[in-house]
Structure formats: C-alpha cells, structure tokens
Amino acid sequence: MKILILTNLFPTPWDPLRGAFNRQQFERLGQHHDIDVLTAVDFRERLRGVRGEVSVDSLRTDYFTFFYPPRFGRSLHAMTWLLSLWLQRGRRLRAAGYDCILVSWAYPDAAATGWLARRLRIPYVVKVHGSDLNVQASYPLRRRQIRSALRGAGAVVAVSRALAEKAVAIGAAPDRVHVIYNGVDSDRFAPGSRSEARTRLGLSSEEPLLLYVGNLKSSKGCLDLLEAFPALLATQSQARLIYVGAGPCRDALLERAAALACSDRISLAGAVPHAALGDWFRAADLLCLPSHNEGVPNVILEAMACGIPVVATRVGGIPEVVPDYAGSLVPPQDPAALSAALVEAVAREWDSSRIAAHASGFRWDDNVARLSGILQTAVHPPRVGSAA
C-alpha cells in the first residue's frame, strides 16, 4: 500500500531525538509498504534553527511548519494545523495517490486529518499515545473534535488497554479499537555487564544508581522524583540520581537540588541519542519514571529488556506491562509513597533474567505485523455479511 503518515512525534532536523518509538515502528512498517512521513514542526521550534540531521531507512520524510496563535485559541489548533498543511503541501497530497493515512496523535493531528481524509477520499487510522487523550480530551471543545476524528477513523490503535478504554469512552466504536503495545529493539536493549557500562559512561562502579529517562517537565514527575530522593540518601548515602533528557524543568531541578542539599548526588546528563540509551539502562540499579499520566513509555520496556527493575506510577498502561517481579508502582504525585518505593526497591534482590524475559515479549515484528493488518483492513474493509 501507499501510506501517508502524519504526526508531530517523529525526528526532524529541528528535534532529531523526538519520537524514537514512532521512528522504530514506521521504519519497520516502511519495509513492507510505500510510506511518506510528513511531520508537523512547531513554528517556534523552526525559528530556533536546525539541531541535527535525520535520515531514516525505508521512508521518505518531509516536514511542514505548523502555525497557530500561541497562548490562546487551543480549540482552533486543528483548523490551523490543517491550513498549515494544506497551504504548504496540499498540491502534493492531492497528486500522490495514497491508499490511506495513518495519523499518530489525537489533537490537533487526528482532528485535522479527519477533514483531510474526507477531502482526499481515503480512509485513515488514528494512533493514540497518552496525553493526547488523557489531557487534550479533558477540554470540551477539543474533546468534541477528537470524538469526531475517532468516530470517522477506519480504526483506532492504542498503545495500552487503558488508553483503548479511554478512546471508547470518548466515542470510538469498540470494534474498531485495537491495543498494540510498542516493541523493543532487542539488538540495542539487552542485559549486559553493569561495570562495563559504567566504565564506558565514566561512572563510579560502587554507588547505587537511580536513573530517570525522559523529558524534563513536571507532568513526567521529574520534580516529584527529586523530592523523594533524599529519603533514599538517608539509607544509601552514596546513591546517585541521574536525569537523562532535556526540558523546561532543568533549572528548577538544579535549584531544588541545592535547596534539598543534595546537588552533589544529582547529575543532569542532557538528551542522549536513542541508540546510546542501552548503556545507561545497563549501568543503573533502577529506572524511575513517576509520570502524572502516560500511555506505555518505551523507556520502561527498554529498561526491563536490559534486566533493570522499574519504579513508576500506577497510571495509563504502565500497570499492564510492569508485573510485581519487575518493579513497584505508586500513586502519581505522591513523593512519600515514591520515597518508600525507592528505598524498598534499591534494597531488594531482583531477578534480572526474569525481568528481561518478560520484556522480550514486546517485539517490533509483532507490532508492525498487527498494524499492517489493521491498515489493510481500513483500506479493504470486509463486506457486510461476509464470513469472518
């Protein structure tokens, strides 16, 4: 099939590390189909300039600039997203002859794509990730647009059962909603020597290492983790907390660490290419991701694939993929509960082989085969009354 993928979650020259999970999925999907990926780039991000190069095998990639009124009018963003796309790439889209559209992110991307697909007279499939439903659909005007997009879709793909249930509650037809967990690249994420990983990263071989991987923003719980960390230091004085990622909370983390008198035990490593994350996981004693809302974060699957236990919040699809023997779950925005979980987890003996074996069940080949079948069905739906 010839497929158009529309999303804001994909690497671009202005943000080369963005959407690594989509990159892995779409690159594999492109081995079976003829695919164009067209990524929306926020106009403010584009003004900040190019930050790297992006080359993805098996895909043709392009970008358009998403213009919108900042700070207000969020309910109009689907319209401005569509106008931005159509004015910049409309002629090419009309002439391309696509069989279907896969749109990854509910608002504004999917809300706008519903209108685009009707104009092009082709089916579309919506992939939802987490806060695109958990947060955006909590606003009435946006929720109505998301509902319309989900109802008009040939299928809705959710990365967790919790998110699938959310899509149905918003208005998606239950028989069109599919759960497909993300996969793990087993060549990059597998158990290995902790001491060798630490040596390659220039880290101490002795101190207990707590790792956070993700955007440094409050909704990911990075500040909650910092509030919980001193309790671990009280029992493990040489423990170190390393944040891998970038984002708006960086300065707040540094200021709060100074106020908590633990700056010497905190490190901010900055953003790291996805291909380099394996050593960070293997170097860690524990991954912690105390998000306020989620779908299923790939960093949790990847850490477990390296045999590393997880402390995370009981939100979204995380409880679906983290069994008791692979980690501990706590309520969101509860630093006291998080503190207790960290202390217990660092002291506990974990079965790394069992954790890695569990994570090996999340395979990109299975993921892409199912997604390909869903797209095929959207293009060639079964006839009413035909045999199953």
pLDDT digits (tens, 9 = 90+) for 140-197: 999 999 999 999 999 999 999 999 999 999 999 999 999 999 999 999 999 999 999 9
Alpha-carbon span 191 to 306, nearest angstrom? 4
Residue 179: strand pairing partners: 158
pLDDT more than 70, % of the chain: 99
pLDDT at 73: 87
Scanning the structure block, which residue is given the tokens 């579309």?
124
**What whole-number distance in Å separates Cα of residue 220 and Cα of residue 236?**
25
Which is the CATH superfamily of the domain at 194-359?
Glycogen Phosphorylase B; (3.40.50.2000)
Check residue 388 and give its pLDDT: 43
| CATH superfamily, domain at 2-183+364-379 | Glycogen Phosphorylase B; (3.40.50.2000)
CB–CB of 126/7 below 8 Å?
A: no
Residues of the chain with CATH 3.40.50.2000: 2-183+364-379, 194-359
Output phi, psi for 387, to 5 deg.
Answer: -70, 145
Q: b or e along 148-176 (b: 16 or more beta carbons within 10 Å of the residue's beta carbon)? A: bbbebbbbbbbbbbbbbebbbebebeeeb
Task: List pLDDT tens digits, range 258-310.
Answer: 999 999 999 999 999 999 999 999 999 999 999 999 989 999 999 999 999 99
Confidence of residue 71 (pLDDT cuts 50, 70, 90): confident
- Burial of 219 (C-beta count, 10 Å sphere; 0-12/13-18/19+): middle
Residue 123: is the preceding peptide bond cis (ω within 30°)? no
Residues in the chain: 388
**Spatial distance between the Cα atoms of 252 and 227, rounded to a whole number of angstroms:** 12
59 pLDDT higher than 50: yes
The sign of the dihedral angle between the CA atoms of 37, 154, 128, 33 is negative
* Angle formed at CA 180 by CA 273 and CA 224, multiple of 5 degrees: 55
Q: What is the mean pLDDT of residues 316-330?
A: 97
What number is the average pLDDT over the span 21-34? Answer: 97
